[in-house]
Amino acid sequence: MKRLSTALVTFALALTSASALAAPGLTQAECHDYPFTPLKHTVTHKQLMQELSELEAVGYDPTGDDNDYPTDLDNAEAKLHQEFRRDCMPAQVAGNPTGSAAD
């Protein structure tokens, strides 16, 4: 049963990951949504699946070697937050004191 559930989740994630990879960066909607903003309500399944697809888009493989967990997840989260800073934060706040687009 667990194998079937894993296969279904993997299939669903593959569908959403393709769209995440096609996007050039985070959209404004993604910048202002979970996991980057605190929620006042329970996280939905859809939000969790979106977060997982975003993590996969930056290299996380939930079906990968368990010996790499949680390091591989931590690395993907760091990359995702780096993407958030690049796409969602003003240049000055993101670490560019000049405020210019070039880094």
**pLDDT reported for residue 32:** 80
Residue 16 lies in a domain: yes
> Which residues neighbour 44 within 8 Å (Cβ) at sequence distance 6 or greater?
none
Domain span including residue 58? 2-88
Q: Is pLDDT of 10 > 60?
A: no
**pLDDT reported for residue 52:** 93
SS3 call for 53: helix
Mean local confidence (pLDDT), 17-32: 63
Handedness of CA 68, 66, 59, 45 (dihedral sign): negative
pTM of the model: 0.57
Chain centre to alpha carbon of residue 43: 15
Residue 103 lies in a domain: no
How many domains does the structure of the chain reveal?
A: 1
